[in-house]
């Protein structure tokens, strides 16, 4: 009797959804988090996101509290203004990377009658033989250079990697934002480090410098360590852009046999860093009734398992 009542309630729920408009962001089935009616998209992990905010904001507060007054006495107002501008640019580029669509490929919620017998298919694009892979999770043939992120549970166009620090996937649509975040952070580190060096009176003894300029010494050591990490990361991504590869493709060694569309360095830079791409999915569109039936059925099946 309980099972019959549950099935009846599922049918009633499905009928109610057919009568009302349901937007795609309300029933998006992956692990990604959607905010502001689907205009902001991010991943499920947020620990790294909050950690980066602390790692950027806490040293900045130390810099402004400990160095603003001494710099103002010396007439170094521009050091303070530039620091504030670089901090704002760094935070904005970080938030844009974290809350932007990386290139999510729409999911096929209607299960096909016959699943493909082979998971790979060879096609010719621009006189180049490339391989497409079928994703059983999303139930789609992935576009070329698209891969499935296990953390977000979605296929990402030109998937580079899932960055735990921004809490989001890095793909075709937000790769430029990610590179700008790396560059802005590096410039901010350089400015902070040289400002601290400028504010120290190096004529004093080393022990006196450590005593009288504690904040400057701490910031110099901190910014130098982070700078080495960031500059190495930028170097790595410049190498990837030069060779027209993503982090995932480089680690998995996917194109060792030349199974890709060959482009020059200039064309790769233009497509990766200069070209604007539109999203593959509109989260604010109304879900068709035929899709809603399958979505409601999937949710009801998960509830029964729980």
Name the residue with tokens 């493709």.
249
Residues 6+ apart with CB under 8 A from 159: 102, 103, 145, 146, 147, 148, 149, 169, 170, 171, 246, 248
Distance CA 224, CA 192 (A): 10
Encoding tokens for residue 100?
A: 């932007």
d(CA 276, CA 299): 36
Q: What angle do CA 120, 111, 40 make, to 5 degrees?
A: 90
Active site residue 163: yes
Where would I find the H helices in the chain?
2-19, 47-73, 77-98, 175-199, 206-212, 214-242, 247-252, 265-269, 289-305
Spot the catalytic one: 135, 149, 163, 169. 163
Query: Which residues belong to the active site?
Result: 163
């Amino acid at each position: 009797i309980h099972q019959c009542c549950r099935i009846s309630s599922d049918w009633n729920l499905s009928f109610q959804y057919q009568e009302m408009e349901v937007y795609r962001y309300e029933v998006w089935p992956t692990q990604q988090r959607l905010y502001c009616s689907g205009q902001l998209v991010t991943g499920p992990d947020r620990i790294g996101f909050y950690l980066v905010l602390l790692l950027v904001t806490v040293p900045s507060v130390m810099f402004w509290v400990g160095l603003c007054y001494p710099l103002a006495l010396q007439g170094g107002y521009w050091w303070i203004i530039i620091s504030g501008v670089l901090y704002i640019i760094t935070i904005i580029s970080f938030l844009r990377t974290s809350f932007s669509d990386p290139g999510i490929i729409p999911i096929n919620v209607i299960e096909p009658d016959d699943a493909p017998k082979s998971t790979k298919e060879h096609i010719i694009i621009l006189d180049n033989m490339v391989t497409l892979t079928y994703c059983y999770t999303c139930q789609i043939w992935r576009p070329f250079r698209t891969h499935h992120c296990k953390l977000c549970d979605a296929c990402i166009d030109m998937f580079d990697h899932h960055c735990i620090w921004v809490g989001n996937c890095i793909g075709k649509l937000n790769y430029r934002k990610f590179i700008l975040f790396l560059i802005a952070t590096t410039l901010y580190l350089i400015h902070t480090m040289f400002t601290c060096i400028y504010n120290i009176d190096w004529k004093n003894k080393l022990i006196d410098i450590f005593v009288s300029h504690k904040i400057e010494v701490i910031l110099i050591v901190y910014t130098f360590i982070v700078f080495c990490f960031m500059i190495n990361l930028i170097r790595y991504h410049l190498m990837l852009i030069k060779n027209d590869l993503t982090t995932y493709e480089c680690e998995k060694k996917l194109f060792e046999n030349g199974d890709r569309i060959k482009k020059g360095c200039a064309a790769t830079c233009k497509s990766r860093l200069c070209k604007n791409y539109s999203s593959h999915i509109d989260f604010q569109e109304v879900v068709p009734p035929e899709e809603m039936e399958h979505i409601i059925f999937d949710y009801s099946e998960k509830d029964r398992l729980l």
